[in-house]
Amino acid sequence: MGSTVATDEKTGRKFYLDDPDDMKPGEQLVFLLNLHGGGSVGAWQRLYFPAFDYKERYRLVIATPSAATKEPMRRWVAEADDDHLRNIVEYVFEKYGVEHIRAFWLVGHSQGGMTSNRLLSQDYFKDRVDGWLSLSGGRIGPVEIPASFFPPSRGTPPPAQAATPGGDAPRPGRAVTPECDISFIFATGEHEMVALPESSPWAEKYGAGPRTRLADVVDDQPGQIHDTSREGKSTPGWGLSPRPGTAQVFSYPNGRGGKVIADVVRLDKGHTEGLEPRVTETLVQMIAGAPGGKAQGAVRR
């Protein structure tokens, strides 16, 4: 128990696995499958969204893998990675007992969020996933990406994901509306978008109330990582060095079934500054408070 490197025995691929140091047999856990963005790796993602810092407090199991495809940059590709991701889920269900997985969330940054969105079109994931945390990985109800988002050295957006059965495809700023029953949290940097929409089609789907602004989250500590490859030539939209800051939190309350639907905007931040500790905990707290049970239900069926 604790933090380790586990192995998918079917592929031989390794992934980070974090769980509570003081875990007791049979206790209920929240499982996060944590996916990095294009050009990144699991080790970076683990520090970008350091949910493992709160695994004891919120009883978390966190699996953080790396994509197989490396050219033209490391990124998630269906043919190379989807079986591996399903294997990780089955590994976690078997290791801890699916009856002890109280909730299962997909978490993804950038292209990892777009990949999470694509996975939700598959029966395997839509039947088991209770929620999706999109870390700058597309919003249900699009946001406009400013031209300044991409550094000159990068030039163009990351490749779009393969189209879903409906013909649309996840892309930066815009998620394909999934045909499944999940909670949804969108977290982004202020400089990554032109403006945050005041409404949410996902909130409307669940009959939630109008957007409500909650108390700001104020961090006096920075995140743990940033894009060092762009040092000295990045933009505010792409992201600068980690630093303390304030995040605005917007909730759509009283959705059917207790669904958690929220937007979190990190002020004066871009795409690649690692999440600050209090923002990370706020997101984890939302996840831990959301309804679950789909994985257990899928097994019973």
pLDDT, tens digit, 9 for 90 and up, residues 262-284: 999 999 999 999 999 999 999 99
CB distance 90 to 136 below 8 Å: no
- 70/284 Cα distance (integer angstroms): 30
Rounded mean pLDDT, 63-69:
97
CA end-to-end distance (rounded Å), the chain: 30
**What is the full DSSP assignment across 174-199?**
B----SS--EEEEEEEGGGSS---S-
CA distances from 149 to 28, 52, 120, 215, 267 (A): 40, 29, 26, 28, 15
How deeply is 13 buried, as exposed, middle or buried, from its count of CB atoms within 10 A (0-12, 13-18, 19+)?
middle
| Residue owning tokens 């043919």 | 79
Residues for the chain: how many in total?
301
Reported as type and span, the H/E element at residue 236 is none
Reported as type and span, the H/E element at residue 298 is helix 294-300
The yes-or-no verdict on residue 110 having pLDDT over 80 is yes
CB distance 290 to 258 below 8 Å: yes
What angle, 0 to 180 degrees and rounded to 10, lies between the N-to-C axes of helices 78-96 and 111-119? 70
> Nearest Cα to 279, choosing from 229, 255, 244?
244
CATH of the domain at 233: 3.40.50
> How would residue 165 be classed by pLDDT, with cut points 50, 70 and 90?
very low
> Nearest Cα to 286, choosing from 111, 173, 134, 99?
134
User: Which residue range is the domain that position 239 belongs to?
Assistant: 3-300
> How would residue 2 be classed by pLDDT, with cut points 50, 70 and 90?
confident
Residue scoring higher pLDDT (163 or 229): 229
Give residue-wise pLDDT tens across range 121-147. Answer: 999 999 999 999 999 999 998 788 887
For the chain, what is the mean pLDDT?
92
Q: How many helices (H) and strands (E) does the chain have?
A: 8, 11
Helix (H, G, I), strand (E, B) or coil at 145: coil
Rounded mean pLDDT, 78-102:
97
The yes-or-no verdict on residue 152 having pLDDT over 70 is no
Show Cβ contacts of residue 62 under 8 Å, excluding neighbours closer than 6 positions.
16, 17, 18, 19, 31, 32, 34, 46, 51, 52, 55
CB distance 169 to 141 below 8 Å: no
How deeply is 47 buried, as exposed, middle or buried, from its count of CB atoms within 10 A (0-12, 13-18, 19+)?
middle
> How would residue 166 be classed by pLDDT, with cut points 50, 70 and 90?
very low
CB distance 69 to 140 below 8 Å: no
**Structure tokens that stand for 139 in this block:** 């919003």
The yes-or-no verdict on residue 153 having pLDDT over 70 is no
Q: Which of 21-25, 146-150, 186-190, 193-197 shows the lowest per-residue confidence on average (mean pLDDT)?
A: 146-150
What pLDDT, on a 0 to 100 scale, did the predictor assign at position 200?
96
The yes-or-no verdict on residue 151 having pLDDT over 70 is no
The yes-or-no verdict on residue 247 having pLDDT over 50 is yes
The yes-or-no verdict on residue 184 having pLDDT over 90 is yes
Percent of the chain scored above 90 by pLDDT? 82
What pLDDT, on a 0 to 100 scale, did the predictor assign at position 87?
98
- CA 42 to the chain's CA centroid: 13
Residue scoring higher pLDDT (250 or 160): 250
Give the total number of structural domains in the chain: 1
- 144/177 Cα distance (integer angstroms): 16
The yes-or-no verdict on residue 220 having pLDDT over 60 is yes
The yes-or-no verdict on residue 62 having pLDDT over 90 is yes
**Structure tokens that stand for 3 in this block:** 């933090």
